[in-house]
C-alpha cells in the first residue's frame, strides 16, 4: 500500500503541475468541465475505475478546495414544486420498511413563504392511513462528488421519520444496498433532536447491522432551521450540521483493499426529500397520529462542485 501511495503521489503531483501550467497558459479555466459532472439532462461520463480507487490514491488539500455552485433550489416562488427540478415517487407499498404512508403525486408538497413544505397527514388513500411526499431529482439532476447544503426544519412527534438523502441513478453494482445509499439527515420522532448520518453499501448496511452511522444532538431541530451538509469526495464522505462535522466515512479505515462493496460512491447520485410516518424505524416505539399533520420545511438546497476534484478524478491514472 505504501509503495503504491508513494508512486501515485509522484504521478499526482506531476499531473497537478501540468494542470496548473495548462490553466496559466490560457484565459479559459478548467471549470468548463463541471458540466461533465453536473448531469441534469446530460449524461455523466466521469468515470473512476474502482481498482484505481482501491489504492487510495486521491491527494488533495481539502481545506483549500474551491467550491462553485452548480445547482440549487431556493424555493422562492410560491406554488407547486418546480417540475423541472423535482418529481414525485408515489405509492404506498411500504417502501422496504413497512411504512404505512402513501406518497402522493405532489399534493403533499408545495412552496410557500420562501421554503418548501412537505406535509404528512392523517388522510386515507386506499388502504394507507396517511399521505405524504417523497420528491426526487432523479431524471432531472444528479451529481458525482460535491458539497450538498440543505437548510431544513424538521417535523416532530412519535412516528415521524423525515429524511434528506441520496440514491444512485443507476444500480451499477447491483440492487440495494450494493450500489450505495447516502443519508445526509434522518430523524425519528421518538428520539427528538438526535440527527443521524449514514451510508449503506454491499459490505456495510443496516440489514446486516454493519452500516456506518453517526448521530449528533441538534437542539431545536423541529423549532429552527439547521443546515445539513454532505461533502462527497472521491475517497470519503463527510456530513455536518451547522458546520459541525460529526460523520466521516472513509473505507480505508475498515479495509486495506476495498472495492465497490465498500465504496460504490463513484457513480452519480440524486437527491431525495421525504417524510415517512411509522415503519420499521419511525414506528419502532409506536406512533401517535394525533401529532398530524406535520411539516418539514426546506429553505434551500444548494449543490457545489470543486473544479480541482473534477480534474483530479479525470486525470487519475
Ligand atoms: Ca428559500
The x, y and z cell numbers of residue 23, run together, are 490553466
Of the candidates 248, 193, 197, 200, the one whose C-alpha atom is nearest the C-alpha of residue 221 is: 193
Q: 219 in helix, strand or coil?
A: coil
The rounded Å distance from CA 57 to ligand 1 centre is 39
For the chain, 317 residues long, give each residue's pLDDT as a single digit of tens. Answer: 344 444 545 555 555 544 444 444 333 333 333 333 333 333 333 444 444 444 456 889 999 999 999 999 999 999 999 999 999 999 999 999 999 999 999 999 999 999 999 999 999 999 999 999 999 999 999 999 999 999 999 999 999 999 999 999 999 999 999 999 999 999 999 999 999 999 999 999 988 988 899 999 999 999 999 999 999 999 999 999 999 999 999 998 888 888 999 999 999 999 999 999 999 999 999 999 999 999 999 999 999 999 999 999 887 65
What is the spatial distance between Cα 93 and Cα 128, in angstroms, rounded to a whole number? 9
Q: 79 in helix, strand or coil?
A: strand
The rounded Å distance from CA 109 to ligand 1 centre is 15
The rounded Å distance from CA 292 to ligand 1 centre is 24
User: Which residue segments constitute the domains of the chain, with CATH numbers given?
Assistant: 2-59+308-315 (no CATH), 69-306 (2.60.120.200)
Q: Apex CA 201: angle with CA 285 and CA 267, to 5°?
A: 125
What is the spatial distance between Cα 37 and Cα 28, in angstroms, rounded to a whole number? 18
DSSP code string of 231-298:
EEETTEEEEEETTEEEEEE-GGGT-SS--TTT---SS-EEEEEEEEESHHHHTBTB--GGG-SEEEEE
pTM above 0.95, yes or no: no
Active site residues: 181, 186
The rounded Å distance from CA 74 to ligand 1 centre is 4
The rounded Å distance from CA 80 to ligand 1 centre is 14
Which residues are within 8 A (CB) of 86 and not within 5 positions of it... i.e. 6 or more apart? 73, 135, 136, 137, 140
Amino acid at each position: 500500500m505504501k509503495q503504491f501511495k508513494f508512486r501515485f503521489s509522484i504521478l499526482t503531483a506531476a499531473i497537478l503541475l501540468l494542470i496548473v501550467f495548462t490553466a496559466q497558459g490560457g484565459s479559459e479555466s478548467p471549470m468548463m468541465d463541471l458540466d461533465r459532472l453536473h448531469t441534469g439532462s446530460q449524461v455523466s461520463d466521469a468515470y473512476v475505475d474502482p481498482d484505481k480507487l482501491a489504492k487510495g490514491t486521491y491527494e488533495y488539500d481539502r481545506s483549500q478546495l474551491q467550491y462553485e455552485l452548480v445547482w440549487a433550489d431556493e424555493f422562492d416562488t410560491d406554488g407547486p414544486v418546480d417540475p423541472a427540478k423535482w418529481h414525485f415517487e408515489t405509492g404506498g407499498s411500504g417502501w422496504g420498511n413497512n411504512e404505512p404512508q402513501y406518497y402522493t403525486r405532489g399534493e403533499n408538497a408545495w412552496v410557500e413563504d420562501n421554503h418548501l413544505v412537505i406535509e404528512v397527514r392523517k388522510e386515507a388513500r386506499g388502504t394507507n392511513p396517511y399521505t405524504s411526499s417523497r420528491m426526487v431529482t432523479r431524471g432531472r439532476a444528479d451529481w458525482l462528488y460535491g458539497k450538498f447544503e440543505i437548510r431544513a426544519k424538521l417535523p416532530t412527534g412519535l412516528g415521524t421519520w423525515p429524511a434528506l438523502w441520496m440514491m444512485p441513478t443507476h444500480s451499477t453494482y447491483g440492487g440495494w444496498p450494493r450500489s450505495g445509499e447516502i443519508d445526509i439527515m434522518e430523524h425519528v420522532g421518538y428520539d427528538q433532536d438526535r440527527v443521524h448520518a449514514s451510508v449503506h453499501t454491499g459490505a456495510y448496511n443496516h440489514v446486516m447491522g454493519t452500516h456506518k452511522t453517526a448521530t449528533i444532538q441538534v437542539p431545536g431541530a423541529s423549532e429552527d432551521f439547521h443546515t445539513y451538509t454532505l461533502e462527497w469526495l472521491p475517497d470519503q464522505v463527510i456530513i455536518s450540521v451547522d458546520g459541525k462535522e460529526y460523520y466521516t466515512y472513509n473505507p480505508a479505515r475498515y479495509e486495506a483493499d476495498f472495492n465497490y462493496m465498500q465504496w460504490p460512491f463513484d457513480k452519480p447520485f440524486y437527491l431525495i426529500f421525504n417524510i415517512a410516518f411509522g415503519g420499521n424505524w419511525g414506528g419502532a416505539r409506536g406512533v401517535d397520529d394525533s401529532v398530524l399533520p406535520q411539516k418539514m420545511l426546506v429553505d434551500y438546497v444548494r449543490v457545489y462542485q470543486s473544479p480541482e476534484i473534477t480534474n483530479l478524478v479525470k486525470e487519475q491514472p
